[in-house]
Chain A
Amino acid sequence: MASIAKPTLPVAAERNGLALLAGVPRALTIVLTAAVVLAPLSLIVYQSLLSAPFFDAVKKVGIDAYAFIFSDPDFWSALVNSLLIAAGMTLIAVPLGGVLAFVMERTDFPGKRIIEPLLLVPSFVSPMVLSFGYVVAAGPVGFYSVLATKLFGGIPWGLYSLPAMAVIAGLTHVPNVYIYASSALKNLGSDVEEAARVAGASPFRVAISVSLPLIMPALLFSAVLIFFLGLELFGLPLVLGDPEGHLVLSTYLYKLTNKLGTPSYHLMAAVAVCIVALTIPLVLLQRRLLQNVRKYATIKGKAGRIRELPLGRWKWLAVALVGLWLFVAVIVPLTGIALRAFVTNWGFGVSLAEAFTLNNFHEVFNEPTDVRAIINTVLLGTVGGALTVACYTAIGFATHRRNDGWSRIVDYLVLIPRAVPGLLIGLAFLWVFLFFPPLRPLRETIFSMWLAYTVVWLAYGMRLISSSLLQVSTELEEAARTIGAARGRISREITLPLIRHGLLGSWLLVFMIFEREYSTGVYLLAPGTEVIGAELVSLWQGGAIDVVAALSLINILLVFVGLAIALRFGVRLRD
């Protein structure tokens, strides 16, 4: 005891002198976040109010740009198409996702654990790649179309119509609904259902009167989310809408340059502002609804062991339904690309053995631009992804356990990029790099691409980081405080080590989304900043199908490597 009963050791005094500096990293983080989020957006708004591109000598402030697009019938048809597709895909994705979630979470569906990662595949593969997959698999001379013609004497589907786009968009967005519905069901303890069963309700009644009402907030939230994603669609309407000339808002914006032949930045900015005006209310609505989801999460019972509902004779119907969906949303496009990457051409009367070639890959690897695109994409995912997670973590720490005005500002800052489609953020960053001369040298480096990617995925990444941070119990940090550790030290020595697995998982997920990303790079693409996603858009516009197929397959492989590592380390693929 004697050795303990020494005089009190006070906390090192010199740290008090540093107390004034303690707020500096936080302030810096908040200012930088505000700058990278607000600068591009304000530039878009500013540009939309000019009568010519901002670098033109002759320009005046006014609403000419809006007047022009509002008088263009193409804009209105694009708007209507966007709303129709968004509504259609919501009507398809939400019920399917809900049913899928119920089947996977609550019933004895066979082979659930193996199928689950497959269900998420469409959300990990670039929509550009998926759409291209549909073209080569089910387009007029696609693999499955040729097969169907042999079997039925004709193709019973048309790929390039508006309804077809809505159906494909709906089917490929089922995972987004599934994720929210299934985690809502997972959190829903069996006890509330068992209470209903004990009270005399049949399993069917339980589902109708207890389970589904309890996950209604989650379903409603995903409906708004899907509608919102529908307004953002770019790759799918670009690939599938082109042949029959269907435009949506984002493709209308993209094609404006072609239409007028000159860089009509003020018109693009006006369209961009219109898109954001539609998406911002939806994002705010999502935020409200998500709080509602959380509220329900605290009311209902303890998440205990979940008892499976026997499907009985419905099992085969469920298997058929899930199988059909998997076939259409995953197998058709992916096999299409895989086959197309290894043939010279395809059509009626061409046999696989004759057309087989590795030439497409030779072409990719002999083209320096494509090789750079692959290298850049990998670097962006690995090194860039790590840096991105580091930035997100810094922002996370700036608001962690602080309930002041600054934290609320950061909350909204982080939310803003969510409302702006990647295509627009890429465009805005292009302008930022052109507008501020000191930044110009960075324009043709991969840094510009990295910055835009990091801002586009800010909201998603912050959800990953804050869910890791929330898992650290407050008391672990309070214990360090009472022992004498200041905030910065607690962050470094207690919180950071505790969330390292979460950060590693976030890195893998960020890697996958960075490999998948395509629209953000469209306008930033330049010699030196090539990435696969944006390169695919550009090559597709140029009609280089062979190279697109090979690059798409490489892109899918990169995503799958990330997915395999994530599964190997047990990373939760969803938050």
Chain B
Amino acid sequence: MPELTVENLHLRYGDNEILKGVAMTLSRGEVVSLLGPSGSGKTTLLRAVAGLEVPHAGRILIGDKVVFDGAKDVDIPAEGRNLGLVFQSYALWPHKTVFDNVAYGLRLRRAGRDAIGQRVRAALDQLSLGHLAERFPHQLSGGQQQRVALARALVYNPPVILLDEPLSNLDAKLREEARAWLRELIMRMQLSALCVTHDQAEALAMSDRILLLNGGRIEQQGTPQQMYSAPETLFTADFMGSNNRLPGRVAEIRDGAALLEGQGFRLWGTAKKGAAPGGDGVGMIRLEQIRIAEGPGDNRLAADLSTSMYLGDKWEHLFHVGDARLRAYGSEPLAAGRHWLELPKQAFWVF
């Protein structure tokens, strides 16, 4: 049985429809990320699950308990849903110490004094915050505040923990460390987590499953590998990873392969949804999949080097092919002029 089930959820602000029929499940011990551009409804979905937004149709179940049902007018308020939510801003109460921030959920549940002390201390120790119990939030660093917010949401063992952009308030370097730490913590504590993020790298690294939202609908869902390597739609392909786009015409489709013709190229790629012979098509390939070749050959095209950028561990080269621009990685600088680029058939998707 899933810990969390969302069925056909609709939500609007005034006339503005934010969620247009979203469905998802979250199983025990699973981390699911809600990914999408801003305005796609991912935070709204999270807040609807928490009970902070009221949908107008659909159902939300936590375990087997219905917490929202638009048809039956069931709407258990946020305080009755027994979930843990970590806010993007952390939302620590500035007038309470770290201890009191974390203890509040237990006090609301009428735990005894000793039990509260014991559980809060265990939670703080777990997150290496034991020595900060008497501090106030403003005396903590950003990373420490984030961990207090986590401890506050975890201490009463909610069946599902909701994370709203948990890493976005940390600076770039700290964020990668925190990402690894958070993933490890979730695994070790066997938490079931629903996590909102707009950063595809974060979603890939953190989750067992990704839900990509687009304009209030789920565009595609799957494991990080599926999302990255087998996108079903152009939107998914474009959103995940760094990409090159080649517009052209689909000349032929044969055995799941499509031939894309354009200004200065004629390439075979994997045919995807939407590609039809004789119609316009878009070819898409990840930057890291383009190989710089020595000469002409199968599935290669000639391109003029425009400029090169040094990234530290590699070079990024910018080429022009007709009106289109292609970017590719290389291990060494290239001479100015014309070069041959190979776009492997299985990595070149035609939509």
Residue numbers of A with Cβ under 8 A of B are 1, 3-12, 16, 473, 475-476, 478-486, 489, 493-494, 497-498
Separation of A478 and B126 alpha carbons in the complex (Å): 25
B167 interface hit (Cβ, 8 Å)? no
Residue of A with least CB distance to B158: A8
Binding site of B, secondary structure by majority: helix, strand, loop or mixed? loop
Question: How distant is B188 from chain A, measured CB to nearest CB, in Å?
Answer: 7
Whether B104 pairs with A6 at a CB distance below 8 angstroms is no
- Residues of B116-143 at the interface with A, using a CB-CB cut-off of 8 Å, are 118-119, 122-123, 126
Whether B109 pairs with A497 at a CB distance below 8 angstroms is no
* Residues in chain A near residue B50, CB distance under 8 A: 478, 482
Question: How distant is A195 from chain B, measured CB to nearest CB, in Å?
Answer: 26
Whether B91 pairs with A484 at a CB distance below 8 angstroms is no
- Residues of B51-110 at the interface with A, using a CB-CB cut-off of 8 Å, are 51-52, 77-85, 87-89, 91-95, 104-106, 108-110
B111 interface hit (Cβ, 8 Å)? yes
**Which listed residue, B78, B87, B109, touches A475 by the CB 8 Å rule?**
B87
B153 interface hit (Cβ, 8 Å)? yes
Whether A473 touches B91, Cβ cut-off 8 Å, given contacts A4-B126, A9-B109, is yes
Separation of A373 and B50 alpha carbons in the complex (Å): 56
* Residues in chain B near residue A11, CB distance under 8 A: 79-80, 82, 108-109
Question: How distant is A463 from chain B, measured CB to nearest CB, in Å?
Answer: 24
**Which listed residue, A5, A476, A485, touches B91 by the CB 8 Å rule?**
A476
Residue of A with least CB distance to B52: A478
Residue numbers of B with Cβ under 8 A of A are 50-52, 77-85, 87-89, 91-95, 104-106, 108-111, 118-119, 122-123, 126, 152-159, 162, 188-190
Question: How distant is B164 from chain A, measured CB to nearest CB, in Å?
Answer: 9
Residue of B with least CB distance to A12: B110
A/B interface sample: 11 pairs, CB < 8 A: A1-B126, A3-B122, A5-B189, A8-B82, A473-B91, A475-B91, A476-B91, A476-B93, A476-B94, A478-B50, A482-B52
Whether B77 pairs with A484 at a CB distance below 8 angstroms is no
**Which listed residue, B80, B104, B118, B190, touches A480 by the CB 8 Å rule?**
B104
If A4-B123, A483-B152, A498-B93 are given as contacts, then 18 extra A-B residue pairs at C-beta distance below 8 Å, sorted by A number, are: A3-B119, A4-B119, A7-B157, A8-B157, A9-B111, A11-B79, A473-B91, A475-B88, A478-B78, A478-B85, A480-B93, A482-B84, A482-B153, A483-B104, A484-B105, A484-B109, A485-B79, A497-B95
Question: How distant is B81 from chain A, measured CB to nearest CB, in Å?
Answer: 7
Separation of A11 and B158 alpha carbons in the complex (Å): 10
Separation of A9 and B83 alpha carbons in the complex (Å): 11
Whether A479 pairs with B85 at a CB distance below 8 angstroms is yes
Question: How distant is B154 from chain A, measured CB to nearest CB, in Å?
Answer: 7
**Which listed residue, A5, A9, A16, A478, touches B106 by the CB 8 Å rule?**
A9
* Residues in chain B near residue A476, CB distance under 8 A: 91, 93-94
* Residues in chain B near residue A9, CB distance under 8 A: 106, 109, 111, 156-157
Whether A482 pairs with B155 at a CB distance below 8 angstroms is no
* Residues in chain A near residue B51, CB distance under 8 A: 481-482
* Residues in chain B near residue A8, CB distance under 8 A: 82, 156-159
* Residues in chain B near residue A481, CB distance under 8 A: 51-52, 77-79
* Residues in chain B near residue A479, CB distance under 8 A: 85, 87, 91-93, 152
Most buried by B among A6, A7, A482, A498: A482
Separation of A7 and B50 alpha carbons in the complex (Å): 20
* Residues in chain A near residue B88, CB distance under 8 A: 475
Whether B154 pairs with A484 at a CB distance below 8 angstroms is no
* Residues in chain A near residue B93, CB distance under 8 A: 476, 479-480, 494, 498
Whether A1 touches B188, Cβ cut-off 8 Å, given contacts A478-B91, A481-B77, A484-B109, is yes
Separation of A111 and B301 alpha carbons in the complex (Å): 73
Question: How distant is B129 from chain A, measured CB to nearest CB, in Å?
Answer: 13
Separation of A4 and B119 alpha carbons in the complex (Å): 7
Separation of A483 and B154 alpha carbons in the complex (Å): 10
Separation of A1 and B152 alpha carbons in the complex (Å): 15
Question: How distant is B216 from chain A, measured CB to nearest CB, in Å?
Answer: 22
Most buried by A among B78, B106, B152, B153: B78
Most buried by A among B52, B92, B159: B52
Q: Which 10 A-B pairs have the closest CB atoms?
A: A3-B122, A475-B91, A481-B78, A482-B85, A479-B91, A483-B105, A484-B108, A9-B109, A497-B95, A8-B157
Whether B87 pairs with A485 at a CB distance below 8 angstroms is no
Separation of A485 and B78 alpha carbons in the complex (Å): 9
Whether A12 touches B108, Cβ cut-off 8 Å, given contacts A4-B157, A473-B91, A482-B83, is yes
Separation of A4 and B81 alpha carbons in the complex (Å): 19
Whether B157 pairs with A5 at a CB distance below 8 angstroms is yes
Whether A4 pairs with B79 at a CB distance below 8 angstroms is no
Most buried by B among A475, A484, A485, A486: A484
Residue of B with least CB distance to A476: B91
Separation of A476 and B52 alpha carbons in the complex (Å): 13
Residue of A with least CB distance to B94: A498
Whether B104 pairs with A485 at a CB distance below 8 angstroms is yes
Residue of B with least CB distance to A490: B79
* Residues in chain B near residue A484, CB distance under 8 A: 79-80, 82, 105, 108-109, 156
Whether B95 pairs with A485 at a CB distance below 8 angstroms is no
Residue of B with least CB distance to A482: B85
* Residues in chain B near residue A16, CB distance under 8 A: 80
Whether B109 pairs with A486 at a CB distance below 8 angstroms is no
* Residues in chain B near residue A498, CB distance under 8 A: 93-95
Residue of A with least CB distance to B50: A482
* Residues in chain A near residue B79, CB distance under 8 A: 11, 480-486
Whether A4 pairs with B189 at a CB distance below 8 angstroms is yes
Whether A475 pairs with B157 at a CB distance below 8 angstroms is no
